Structure 1
């Protein structure tokens, strides 16, 4: 890992912004106002409307008449989010590319900061940063740059394996288009974890960079994307991540012994997270039988999971002895992890 001083963007760069849209046309005007406000960047915006029934496609066409940087692709029938992503990504012409959901935002200057890092470090294939979540009106974004971090691809993969998590929300990522062409588009077989799969594949071939300090995107939280806060969503997310890492080991990096050595770390991390979810379920007084699928997942993922305290307690039918202390500890643990990821990106 290298911490380097951030330097300004030298010369002009072209960034293609792919905006998949389904019934989110009302968010497009503000998105475009911010996207085009990028010093030193020639912006190409490709809005892909997935046959929205609410008139979002017409709104996109009207905005394209006002912004010369915008072009619109319209699906005649709904093709789903992965195909919508890929149709837009296949059409890009810029040196760099970002995928920005229509309800999210990229602050003024964020693309310039990412392009500066990519231009200064030609071995970096992907740049990200901090992306705070919001609901309602977006907050004023922080634009102060502290420094840059550069990881080798393997080093970044090692950190990902140790936590088996996706550190990235998605709208804050800017990729080198050459890297995207090399590693390929979103995998239709991974509807719940296609972004994580793309980041992992990129790190197999390219270094990874991060702009530290500013808000590189704003991630909107509303009812349509809060499914992972539910118990069923947690289990779905765990299964999706396990499948994604399995593909890394068995398909994308099957001949790399250094990557294969990371597999036990992934198994342990996923099983630990399932154990924490069991503890949270106990704190919420869920019936023990409803928590059994999490235990089954942990045992199936990590051979040492049956020895964990959460699994033993669940199998014996015992409840938590100190629920207040346990909840405090989990909240503290979550806060410390958030602080680390906020500052360091891993």
Structure 2
């Protein structure tokens, strides 16, 4: 018989719903599932594997795992519905835990990652999601050793965190390292079908417009696997930049009434994306890749995205390279500053003004 004290302990246990979408990644499933069920402390973890009609037998692997592990369920689609619809099926239709995790079948979480994030979210009900550092590794190589002790917390005002993301044009998140408060996920809704590549970036921004953001410092929270079939490999730089604008601007359309100055945020992201487009074109000259880089399209996109793009130093850097020409650049390159210097200058411009409000708004929690 369970003792009263044990019942009280069980009642305090946080619950985590882990959704693992899978398409032709059945050979990774065992590792992904084991990472969320093993070495995660006293959490009530439940897993749903959703195979999206994989032709490689991944569905049978999912069913086999669910048959032997009571904490795992499996859904196998007979028709492919796409990865975003699969995400929404699991997160909105199935997840019932206090917290939710979306874990690609080719990624993993580190030992104790779910417990560390749950502790932060338990202690700070104003925080909508928590994340930490990700370790990247090449498929077929050994996993790097993760840092799993002495986590400290940073709690950021969601709107301050969001503005910094607009300033940098990146969410700074890969995805497997995030643990979300399920009630917030349900309130925000599902992934946007217009953004098959950057739906996750848009999701974190939508959440930050509604809640604060937690970060676990000094620890590694997940592994991100690099291999030729990563979805990002199918996108050209121009396609990614176009999606960047859509992802960030769509957040302003949806959440503008929650933000102090949407016009300022729009200007920040458009300036940043225009800069990136021009930098990509300039680096094509530096690396002899003008034949396979759409330089003219990138320039036109930059000016259309942010009409003041011609005033940027990187625009003059690019114009100089165009005047020299692709054939002469290899000979004159030693006499010119590389385009990457422009990236460092941009990082300096972006970083200094943004750090002050970020640091003033941060709450540094005690070491855990």
Q: TM-score range by the shorter chain?
A: 0.7 to 0.9
Determine the structure 2 residue equivalent to 1:61.
63
Please name the residue that 1:236 is paired with: 239
Choose which of 297, 311, 331 in structure 1 pairs with 2:301: 297
Distance 1:285 1:214 in 2: 40
Residue 270 (structure 2) aligned to one of 264, 267, 287: 267
Query: Offset of 1:266 from its aligned partner?
Result: 1.1
Deviations 1:10-29 (A, max 9, x none): 94111111000001111111
- Higher deviation after alignment, 96-105 or 145-154: 145-154
Instruction: Provide the TM-score with structure 2 as the length reference.
Output: 0.82
Match of 2:111 among 108, 113, 129: 108
Does the residue aligned with 1:261 lie in a helix, a strand or coil? helix
Aligned alpha-carbon RMSD (Å): 2.9
Task: Tell me whether 118-127 or 134-143 shows the greater mean CA deviation.
Answer: 134-143
| Consecutive aligned runs of 4 or more in structure 1 exceeding 6 Å deviation | 330-337
Within 1, Cα distance between the matches of 2:346 and 2:59? 40
Partner SS, residue 192 of structure 1: coil
Matches within 5 A, 1:1-346: 11-37=12-38, 38-89=40-91, 90-135=93-138, 136=140, 137-225=142-230, 227-228=232-233, 233-254=236-257, 256-287=259-290, 290-312=294-316, 314=318, 317-319=322-324, 321-322=332-333, 325-326=337-338, 329=341
Q: Tell me, in whole angstroms, the C-alpha distance in 2 between the residues paired with 1:258 and 1:91.
A: 36
Query: How far has the Cα of 1:235 moved from its partner?
Result: 1.1
Tell me if the contact between 2:286 and 2:333 (Cα under 8 Å) persists in the aligned partners. Answer: no
Aligned to 1:304, what secondary structure does the other structure show? helix
Q: Is the 8 A contact 2:275 2:314 kept in 1?
A: no
How far did 1:67 drift? 1.2
Asked whether the equivalents of residues 130 and 172 of structure 1 are also in contact (C-alpha less than 8 Å), the reply is yes
Three-state SS of the structure 1 residue aligned to 2:277 is helix
- Quick check: 1:96–1:175 contact (8 Å CA) kept in 2? yes
User: Normalising by the residue count of structure 1, what TM-score does the alignment of the two structures yield?
Assistant: 0.87
How far did 1:256 drift?
4.1
Tell me, in whole angstroms, the C-alpha distance in 2 between the residues paired with 1:56 and 1:327.
Answer: 45
> In 2, are the aligned partners of 1:145 and 1:211 still within 8 Å (CA)?
no
For the 8 Å contact 2:283–2:340, the answer to whether it is kept is: no
Residue-pair matches, total = 331
Q: Decide whether aligned partners of structure 1 residues 116 and 159 sit closer, same or farther in structure 2, where only a CA change above 3 A counts.
A: same
For structure 1, the 5+ residue unaligned runs are 1-9
Q: Deviations over 1:281-327 (max 9, x none)?
A: 11121237821111111101112102234434545722465457516
Q: Secondary structure at the match of 1:122?
A: coil
Secondary structure of 1:223's aligned partner: coil
